[in-house]
Amino acid sequence: MRRRRICPAVDARGAKRAPPIAPMTAEPRFLLYSRPGCGLCEEMMIELQAQPAARNIPIDIVDVDQDRAARARFGHKIPVLLCNGELVCHGRLDVEELHKALAPRR
């Protein structure tokens, strides 16, 4: 049986495929899973904004209780900080982990 070589941009049926996802080269973006009225969440936000390495990086704040999957995964760990989808820390800001997460940016 002859093997057919498939072009990476075309699937087995000949339909065009989406290009492969490139390695993470996008600018960093934080996601903070939080809960309204959470003192630890507010503390993490203040500490994060005070870090020179994190300045000018957008922070999206998501109420963990508004997303069923997020609540199941992170509900008991909030605040939870992610950078470009990767876990940085939870509970309290871990400055060392923050710097590791931002290292590829430098």
Q: pLDDT tens digits, residue range 10-65?
A: 445 555 544 343 344 578 999 999 999 999 999 999 999 999 999 999 999 999 99
Return the domain boundaries, the chain: 30-105
pTM of the model: 0.73
DSSP string covering 13-53: TSPBPPPPPPPS-SPP-EEEEE-TT-HHHHHHHHHHHH-GG
The whole-number pLDDT of residue 79 equals 97
pLDDT at residue 6 greater than cutoff 90: no
- Residue 8 CB contacts under 8 Å (≥ 6 apart), including other chains: 17, 20
Q: Class of 30-105 per CATH? A: alpha beta
Residue 104 banded pLDDT, cuts 50, 70, 90: confident
Tell me phi and psi for residue 100, to 5 degrees. Answer: -65, -45
| Residue 34 buriedness (CB in 10 A; 0-12 / 13-18 / 19+) | buried
pLDDT at residue 83 greater than cutoff 60: yes
pLDDT at residue 1 greater than cutoff 50: no
